[in-house]
Structure 1
Amino acid sequence: MDFAFSAEQEEFRDTLRRFLEENSPSSEVRRLMETREGFDRGVWKQMAGELGLQGLHIPESYGGQGFGFLELGIVQEEMGRVLFCAPYLSTVCLAASAILNAGSEAQKQALLPSLASGETVATLALVEPGGDWEPGSIRLVAQSDGDGFRLNGCKTFVTDGHTADLIVVAARLEGTQGRDGITLLTLRSDAQGLSALPLDTLDLTRKQARLELRDVRAEALGEAGAAADALERTLDQGCVLLAAESAGGAARCLETAVAYAKHRVQFGRPIGSFQAIKHKCAEVLLEVESAKSAVYWASWVAEEKEEELAQAASVAKSLSSEGYLRAAAENVQIHGGIGVTWEADPQLYLKRAKTNEELLGNPGYHRARLVTALGV
């Protein structure tokens, strides 16, 4: 295992960072926060056309670039640094991965090229009211209807659910429970009986929605009733990539806090010279580096050693979530009162950190999952 990124990967990171800093300054983030869609479709298409980001880990045979999770992790880390507003996590990290993991060859050929080109925005709908991120908790029933299925129920906290063109829905066959009967299905946003309601959430930089399904017709993705493993793999991959985003956000919080501590003068000297501030920055540095190490290892595992993916994903997700929240909170503290004002950016990172902590399972959930996997 090589613990260092290659020269090509570092060059890719530099190119990506320049693109994101140019297209996602704080002013643009704040503008997009106030819109219903929450992202700029022109930039979304530019990402696909100039950088090929939407198809980064999609095989070339389906119109993608054919890279792996290390490169995808770099993208997520850099997007996390700037609070990039786009349906990248939902489309690329969740929906595209679900199709790759569960879809038939014909479905991959039909669905993936439009995702890779940026033409289609997609998402994964899993959580139900009162439910959690555990696949076994799915209650939505897929009722057989000829060569397809009918769905009646609700999904909530669906990232970019109201702007997605394609939705991958997790349901189960009638009369099943636990991991048995779990089925992934696809439907279009214009499907009859589907309604999407944007949710008012803490983090306005990442849009979420509630989906109401009333006798909506959907097509099974892959074999009906046999999607438990594919769904778990998709969620584990998503956890690794969300952890990368959190690591990037945490690193940016540390950089911002240190820069502010160097130029903010109090009692005739920069506040960074005070021991209490030094301790805060040093402790956050430890959190950030720990999160990065876990994320880089998990990204490698996702690409090279899939049998350890579930454990690696839980380690990375729990460490990065807590590290990001700590870094964001200390960034606010070091900035003082201005850190929580609407005009300042630290509060935006704190809200993203809190949302990321809960998305795809909080640290407590992942530690319990890890304990179970290890048989402790």
Structure 2
Amino acid sequence: MSTEPDLLYSEEEEALRAAVRDLLTDQCTAADVLARIETGAPHDTALWKSLAEGMGLAGLLVPEARGGQGATHREAAVVLEELGRSVAPVPYLTSAVVATEALLACAGDEAGDLLARLASGRTVGALAVGLHTAPGGTPPPVRWQDGALHGTVTGVADAAVADVLLVPADDGALYAVDAADATVTPASSLDLTRPVAAVVLDGAPGRRLGDARPAVRRALRAGAGLLASEQLGLADWALSETVRHLKERKQFNRPVGGFQALKHRLAQLWLEVVHLRAAARSAADALATGTGTDVAVAVAQAYAAPVAVRAAEEALQLHGGIGMTWEHPVHLCLKRAKADAIAYGTAGAHRTALAPLVDLQAP
């Protein structure tokens, strides 16, 4: 039996992609995202309801016996590709992937009940760990004292829209805290479609879910691995949109895309996006099969961030003057790509983690 990863999309995955893209085309246009950002409330709750409840996507990674769809990380990766293309302001990565994976590492009725609620989409969860934390990283612990939680966690993505927070504490346990029992203060964020916030716990009651260390590691590893698929979606959109623009834009009575220098830039970018697709698909497949996961995730994240950022920067430059305006959506793509570059560990952090896994120690 072959152990090689299957990087191709199955018919079911392509059908899922088409369904998600159709929904996003209808409900998440660039104009919609821009208008929502200007209101100061970027999260699109109506879109989240359509994705989570209408299509059942919030429970993709949850077994059917626990109220989910029983799918794998490969299907979740396809969803994230499409969400990345649209820079959709929904808490899919943070709730349906990261928080869900943390709960899947916990046993007991409390974790099971909460997992079913997240799978339904009616409850949004967030792991109370800074978005910058890499797999294997140690988040600053929150104190468990006198039966309550005390401490502050900064840079928590989508905390403002979460109903429940999963908090690792200094006693080694992971606790569920109702968001209403915490103080969530929004922070300035480059990517306005995935805002971060500081979470202050001042005597907040918590319900023990399980051991924090394996749960947090599993959650961050899945988040990093599937983030590469979101970055792939961003890069693919940036390339496709730039090619379309350069075919239509004319200078000296000929399409701008026909100039040799621009052809070379686009060809190089196309190669990088193709390589990114292979890395992202490998990470998703490794997460789904449990084979070579640490290496595949580290490779994907070491490669994904620079490519996504470069694709967005090239799109901005090659769109000329209109790329610099607030009205054109390319700036949304660039901001998400830049923010993703430090999410769940930088490319450098993942290269450092990768070296000992493949016996390439630095001198």
Q: Give the CA deviation at 1:74.
A: 0.3
Report what 1:88 is aligned to. Answer: 92
Equivalent of 2:313 in 326, 329, 334: 329
Report what 1:100 is aligned to. Answer: 104
Which structure 1 residue ranges, 4+ long, deviate > 3 Å from structure 2? Answer: 131-137
Distance 1:25 1:362, change over 3 A: same
Q: Is the 8 A contact 2:144 2:169 kept in 1?
A: no
> 3-state DSSP class of the match of 2:47?
helix
Deviation track 1:313-348 (CA, whole Å, cap 9, x = no partner) reads 111112111110010001111111321211111111
State the TM-score, normalized to the length of structure 1. 0.90
Equivalent of 1:289 in 266, 274, 280: 274
Distance 1:136 1:317, change over 3 A: closer
Summarize the alignment of residues 161-176 of structure 1 with structure 2, pairs less than 5 Å apart.
Answer: 161-173=159-171
Q: Is the 8 A contact 1:127 1:133 kept in 2?
A: no
Equivalent of 2:228 in 225, 229, 243: 243
Structure 1 letter corresponding to 2:259: F
Q: Is the 8 A contact 2:53 2:122 kept in 1?
A: no
Q: Is the 8 A contact 1:138 1:171 kept in 2?
A: no
Q: Give the CA deviation at 1:120.
A: 0.5
Structure 2 letter corresponding to 1:275: Q
Matched, 1:202 2:202: no
RMSD: 1.8
Matched, 1:266 2:221: no
Report what 2:237 is aligned to. Answer: 252
- The CA distance in 2 between the partners of 1:305 and 1:83, in whole Å, is 29
Deviation track 1:102-154 (CA, whole Å, cap 9, x = no partner) reads x21312331012111111011111139xx854655333243243xxx432221
> 3-state DSSP class of the match of 1:99?
helix
Deviation track 1:171-203 (CA, whole Å, cap 9, x = no partner) reads 322xxxxxxx4x322100111xx2101112111
Matched, 1:156 2:144: no
Matched, 1:189 2:179: yes
Structure 2 letter corresponding to 1:323: V
Q: Give the CA deviation at 1:372.
A: 3.1
State the TM-score, normalized to the length of structure 2. 0.93
Structure 2 letter corresponding to 1:309: T
Q: Is the 8 A contact 1:164 1:189 kept in 2?
A: yes
- The CA distance in 2 between the partners of 1:340 and 1:89, in whole Å, is 28
Structure 1 letter corresponding to 2:126: T
Identity among equivalent pairs (%): 36
> Which gives a bigger RCO, structure 1 or 2 (Cα 8 Å, sep 6+)?
2
Q: Is the 8 A contact 2:102 2:219 kept in 1?
A: yes
Structure 1 letter corresponding to 2:245: Y
- The CA distance in 2 between the partners of 1:49 and 1:184, in whole Å, is 27
- The CA distance in 2 between the partners of 1:217 and 1:374, in whole Å, is 43
In structure 2, runs of 5+ residues without a counterpart are none
